[in-house]
Amino acid sequence: MRREDLIFEQSRPGRRASTHAPATIAAIDDLPASVLREAPPPLPEVSELQVVRHFTRLSQLNFSIDTHFYPLGSCTMKYNPRVSNTLAMLPGFLARHPLEPDSHAQGVLESLFDLQELLKAATGMSGVSLTPMAGAQGEFAGIAMIRAWHLARGDTGRTQIIVPDAAHGTNPATASMCGCEAIEIPTGPDGDVDIDALRRAVGPKTAGIMLTNPSTLGVFERRISEIADIVHAAGGLLYYDGANLNAILGRALPAGMGFDVVHINLHKTFSTPHGGGGPGAGVVAVNSRLEPFLPIPIVGKRDGSYVWLSEADRPQSIGRLSGFMGNTGILLRAYVYMRLLGAEGMRRVSGYATLNANYLSTRLAAAGFTIAYPQRRASHEFIISLKDVARDTGATAMDFAKALLDRGFHAPTTYFPLLVPECLLIEPTETETRQELDAFVQALCEIRDLAFRDVGELKRAPQTTPVRRLDDVRAARQLDLVWHSRSGTVN
């Protein structure tokens, strides 16, 4: 493929995809010049064919689930059913103005109401709000609810959120967003939380704890009930980061583990697309304690019709999190997926995701790779550490990642969680075949062989991607964040 120039570089003054705007420009004679724009915005001036060709070509530069195995740990890159998209994009769903009367949106509202019920069933919780727009916003909502609960009890001093060191960055960041302090506790050698450290950490300032279970270390926190007792006894509540809910779907319920609130990344467990960065949906589910505080709006049912419940109906709510209702179109996609799967299908998600992860981890262990927690059962994901290879050859986890790209695989998550050196966090998901997993094992073995044989060659990877290894330092030092035409004009 030829280099794909920036669309700005393909622009010529006066060119237009003219069917998309009015044929003439309406005269604006009622407004003073002082409120009007002087120079037109510097948008590219291109034809429709140029646009189609440019973005079609750009798309081909991406790896994606639709083209590659993408075992990005913690991110759950599994097949996104095309029908979820097709149905969510039916004109009858797309045309809904968010402020139209409820009577006009019964088809949407019914679907969202059903989704709320399905999510209650999947978590064991008693209340759901669909409005958070991603996992991180679900976390925000959860911690805000915990705070509101404490405050409603008149307990104003609980400002600490306990977070294990393996936690995703959004957990401590969320604590800060909510005005809390994040208290980090260490992980024990077996991957479970260090219970003694937890005991030391809790106290009258404890608002709650955020846990991912299975954790981002790819193991199930076995002493979760004990943890719940400790935190509850100290007066705190438990937050379940549901990024890994796919690992236990239909096998265990966050409610059963003692959690008070959970967010679910629908774009992970319920297979809505990642879209190159979003949108997602980070719905929250709570037990009855926290129900009054759920963010609004929520879908209710009144006299056989579905209605949006808002401030008047939910006076204790932490409030709104978005201009309207959050990412409705994503919610519809998740709903379609859940209806396709049904109860059995959901249970199979956790079963086969775990099967694939354990198969891959067993095969990699047999091939001599270092599994981070070899004594543990892998959940839906697991970690290998390349520390030894790095020591012996100088090849890093990053080198392995880049070499995988050349072999037609997206890389696993690298250097996360932070506590495992030179790690790859590998999540194959249930939608990949055994044959694909075998090919992945073979690729990793080949790369390791290359590391020992010719690490210089390995460090030249990737060689088949549209660009070779990029200079990140330069990117951050010599900031170039927007295009400026060299000549000042576009030509």
Partner 1 sequence: MPFIPHTDDDLAAMLQTIGVADIDALFDEIPAALRVGGLPAVPPGMSEAAVVRLMRARAARNVDSLCFLGAGAYEHHIPAAVWELATRGEFYSAYTPYQAEASQGTLQLIYEYQSMLAGLVDLDVSNASLYDGATAFAEACLMAVRASRNRNSRRVLVARYLHPLWRKAAETLLRGQAVELVELPSSGGRTDMQALAALDAQDFAAVCLPWPNFLGGLEPVDELTDWAHGRNMLVIAVCNPVAIGLLKPPGKWGAQGADIACGEGQPLGIPLSSGGPYFGFMACRQALVRQMPGRIVGQTLDIEGRRGFTLTLQAREQHIRRSKATSNICTNQGLMVTAATIHLCLLGSEGLRRVAAQCHTNTRALVAALTSLPGVDLQFSPYFHEAVLTLPQPVAPVLARLAAAGILGGHDLQADFPELGHALLVCATELRTAEDIETYRQAMAGALGMAVAT
Ligand X SMILES: Cc1ncc(COP(=O)(O)O)c(C=O)c1O
Residues that bind its own copies (CB under 8 A): 1-2, 10, 12, 15, 19, 47-50, 52-53, 56-57, 60, 65-68, 78-79, 81-83, 340, 407-408, 431-433, 435, 464
Q: Restricting to residues 40-79, which ones interact with ligand X according to CB under 6 A? A: 74-75
User: Pick from partner 1, ligand X, its own copies, none: which does 212 bind, CB < 5 to 8 A by kind?
Assistant: ligand X
| CB-nearer residue toward ligand X: 286 or 307 | 286
Alpha helices in 299-427 (DSSP H): 328-366, 387-393, 397-406
In sequence order, what are the beta bridge partners of 263? 241, 284
Between 90 and 391, whose beta carbon lies closer to partner 1? 90
Residue 173 phi/psi, 5° resolution?
-65, -35
Task: Give the other-Cβ count within 10 Å of 324's Cβ.
Answer: 13
Instruction: Please choose, out of 193-201, 242-250, 384-392, 419-427, the segment that lies near partner 1 by the rule CB under 8 A.
Output: 242-250
Q: What are phi and psi of 309, to 5 degrees?
A: -95, 135
Q: Which of 172, 218, 235, 428 binds partner 1 (CB under 8 A)?
A: 172
Among 191, 208, 273, 280, binds ligand X (CB under 6 A): 280
Kindly determine how many residues on this chain lie close enough to bind partner 1 according to the rule CB under 8 A. Answer: 217
Nearest to 125 by CA among 240, 251, 274: 240
SS3 166: coil
Q: State the Cα–Cα distance between residues 447 and 456, nearest whole angstrom.
A: 12
Question: Which of these segments, 115-123, 134-142, 319-327, 466-474, binds ligand X (CB under 6 A)?
Answer: 134-142
Site for ligand X in 170-189 (CB under 6 A): 170
Query: What is the gyration radius of the CA atoms in the chain, in angstroms?
Result: 25
Q: How many CB atoms lie within 10 A of CB 47?
A: 14
Q: Whole-angstrom distance between the N-terminal and C-terminal Cα of the chain?
A: 23
Q: Which partner from the list its own copies, partner 1, ligand X, none does 241 bind, CB cut-off 5 to 8 Å by kind? A: ligand X
Q: Of its own copies, ligand X, partner 1, none, which one does residue 421 interact with (CB within 5 to 8 Å by kind)?
A: none
Q: Does 31 bind partner 1 (CB under 8 A)?
A: yes
Question: Following DSSP, what letter does each residue of 114-146 receive, concatenated?
Answer: HHHHHHHHHHT-SEEE----SHHHHHHHHHHHH
Considering the rule CB under 6 A, would residue 209 count as an interface residue with ligand X? no
Sequence-distant (≥ 6) Cβ neighbours of residue 427 within 8 angstroms:
71, 72, 73, 74, 75, 76, 77, 353, 357, 380, 381, 412, 413
**2 contact choice in partner 1, ligand X, its own copies, none (CB below 5 to 8 Å, kind-dependent):** its own copies
- Sign of the C-alpha dihedral computed for residues 390, 392, 394 and 395 taken in this order: negative
Please state the closest distance from residue 274 (CB atom) to partner 1, in A.
5
Is 282 a binder of ligand X (CB under 6 A)?
yes
Q: Which is nearer to its own copies, 324 or 483 (CB)?
A: 483
Taking the least distance from each CB to its own copies, the nearer of 255 and 336 is 336
Closer CB to its own copies, 144 or 401, in the complex: 401
* Least distance (Å) between residue 431 CB and its own copies: 5
Q: Quick check: 22 binds partner 1 (CB under 8 A)?
A: yes
Shortest distance, position 106 Cβ to its own copies, whole Å: 20
Taking CB under 6 A as the criterion, the residue among 65, 105, 109, 134 binding ligand X is 134
- Whichever of 198 and 461 has its CB closer to partner 1, that residue is 461
Which residue in 118, 243, 331, 349 binds ligand X (CB under 6 A)? 243
CA distance 323 to 141: 15
381 binds partner 1 per the rule CB under 8 A: no
Distance CA 362, CA 364 (A): 5
CB of 472 to its own copies, least distance (A): 25
Query: Where in 297-316 is the site for partner 1 (CB under 8 A)?
Result: 311
For the stretch 412-423, what's the b/e string if a residue is b when 16 or more beta carbons lie within 10 angstroms of its beta carbon? Answer: bbbebbebbebb
Binding residues for partner 1 restricted to 243-282, rule: CB under 8 A: 248-253, 256-257, 265, 267, 271, 273-280, 282
Distance (Å, rounded) from C-alpha 168 to C-alpha 120?
24
Query: With binding defined as CB under 8 A, does residue 41 bind partner 1?
Result: yes
12 is an interface residue for partner 1 by CB under 8 A:
yes
For 379-389, give one letter per residue: b (16+ CB within 10 A) or e: bbbbbbbbbeb
Nearer to ligand X, 105 or 161 (CB): 161
Closest separation between CB of residue 236 and partner 1, Å?
Answer: 17
400 touches which of ligand X, its own copies, partner 1, none (CB within 5 to 8 A by kind)?
none
Name the region of 14 (left: φ>0; alpha: ψ -120 to 50; beta: rest): left
Q: 237 phi and psi, to 5 degrees?
A: -115, 165
Closest CB to partner 1 among 194 and 436? Answer: 436
- Which residue in this structure is represented by tokens 């963010």? 295
CA distance 202 to 196: 10
> Which partner from the list its own copies, partner 1, ligand X, none does 153 bind, CB cut-off 5 to 8 Å by kind?
none
Neighbours of 296 (CB within 10 A): 19
Does residue 136 touch ligand X according to CB under 6 A? Answer: yes
Residue 193, binding choice from ligand X, partner 1, its own copies, none, Cβ under 5 to 8 Å by partner class: none
